[in-house]
Structure 1
Amino acid sequence: MTSLSPALDAHLARAQVTLFVAVEIVLPSATIRLLDGAGVLTFDSRTFTGRDPVYGVLGPIEPLTDGLDAEAPRVTISLLPPTNTAAATLAAPAAQGSAVSLWFGAVDTATGLVVDAPDLFFVGEVDVPTLRVGKGSRVLEYEVASVWERFFRNDEGARLTDAFHQSVYPGEKGLEFVTDVQRQLPWGADLPRPGAITDTRTGPLDYARRFGGADLV
């Protein structure tokens, strides 16, 4: 029993199978959908080609590696951009964080169609782009981190203020009148919580009674 669909699992048991890997990269200025070979395939309302007219073709895809205890799984994807302009766009700072998805599937050679539902085996985001230029060659390598990378991000910028609160929850004004907190509120810890806080304009406020935020006090 595998995680693949029954139809794809059965097709892979054949003596001869045509496999493919499809890659989607969602840049700020364009969405690139490429195959690891020639041809055109459509599945999941997406069309993938062997060559993008602007950004070129896929190069080698390094094997997926497991992360350590403080790292998320990663994969390295290579692109062969045909022009310096394309390479500059792919390596631009704005490309960092772009969503990347990889599928594995098979093609029915009798019909030329994708067999059932390809397996979405990796979802991540661009971490480090590296442009390697040599004599007669131009290779753009994307080191792509799994979406689990986000679990390692800290909250150093988090503040118990109206501005920060609304940056996360636009229009939610539970902290609108809290201008100066005099008592420390535990943040992200299971500790005793004070029943009131102080606002410099209105004096002591029963936060739970006035703002309906009983879970915060």
Structure 2
Amino acid sequence: MDRIRLAGLLKLELRDGRVIRLCDGGFVPWGSEIYRVNDTQFGIIGSIDSFEEGVGDEVPAFSITFLPASTAAAVDLAAPGMQGSRLRLWIAEINDLTGQIIGTPDQQFDGMLDQVRLVTGRAKRELPMTFVPRGERFFNSNDGNTLSSAFHKSVYPGELGEDNATGLTSAVAWGVEAQPGSNGGRAASIYPASGWSNIINNPPFREV
């Protein structure tokens, strides 16, 4: 009679091209890849949250705590450019005599890195990483793309209309602070003094 055991497999594809493959004990060969209990650079998994289901517009998230081998590795994993790295988890059936996977592992999660924080202390270095399903992208409104020069040129190559749309607020002098002949001086003759504060907070034109 064959003895079957279960093994958890984790594959984290970092945005810089590196791949972390971990399992929950020993090592597990799968095709041309090998999943190990320890990554020489990024360490081991300290803990992993249980999965939760989402309802409606809620996207469930869970956290994996890495125990990185060094502070440099922790800083590397926590770099802002790593956000969005793909994570996949499987449960595999292993033939205990041959050490080979039976059939195809059952995929449990396919998501992306959302948040990372570094926790340090005396003889302590932990890296809790929060992951969300890839469906999280459906909740991104991408409002900022409409005034982004790079995005605008990707749609209209060579069009320079958004080059000066930096998203920063331009300071405009009003009333007594305006120099003679400036726009602020002309504005003072158009709007009554009692309405200046309201105009400053709610200008009658659209800023870009």
TM-score, length-scaled by structure 2: 0.67
78, 84, 107: which one pairs with 1:91? 78
Distance 1:60 1:163 in 2: 40
- Residue 32 of structure 1: aligned partner: 20
SS at match of 1:41: strand
Task: Report the alpha carbon displacement of residue 43 of structure 1 after superposing the two structures with TM.
Answer: 1.8
Letter of the structure 2 residue corresponding to residue 95 of structure 1? M
Distance 2:117 2:149 in 1: 40
Task: Report the alpha carbon displacement of residue 166 of structure 1 after superposing the two structures with TM.
Answer: 5.5
Distance 1:161 1:28 in 2: 23
SS at match of 1:116: strand
CA RMSD of aligned residues (A): 2.9
Letter of the structure 2 residue corresponding to residue 27 of structure 1? L
29, 34, 56: which one pairs with 1:47? 34
Pair 1:111 & 2:98 matched: yes
- How many residues of Structure 1 are paired with residues of Structure 2 in the alignment? 161
Task: Report the alpha carbon displacement of residue 91 of structure 1 after superposing the two structures with TM.
Answer: 1.3
User: Where has structure 1 moved over 6 Å in runs of 4 or more?
Assistant: 160-163
- Residue 6 of structure 1: aligned partner: none
Distance 2:61 2:3 in 1: 30
Deviation string for 1:52-96 (max 9, x for gaps)?
Answer: 111111121100122343331222111111111111111111111
147-156 or 127-136: bigger deviation: 127-136
Letter of the structure 1 residue corresponding to residue 70 of structure 2? T
Q: Are the counterparts in 1 of residues 3 and 96 from structure 2 also a CA contact under 8 Å?
A: no
More helix by share: 2
Larger radius of gyration: 2
Q: 1:163 to 1:44 in 2, by over 3 A?
A: same
Q: Which runs of 5+ in 2 are unaligned?
A: 162-208
Distance 2:146 2:128 in 1: 37
Q: 1:115-194 alignment to 2 at 5 Å?
A: 115-159=102-146, 164=151, 167=154
- Residue 63 of structure 1: aligned partner: 50
Q: Percent identity?
A: 33
SS at match of 1:65: coil
Q: Which runs of 5+ in 1 are unaligned?
A: 1-13, 180-217
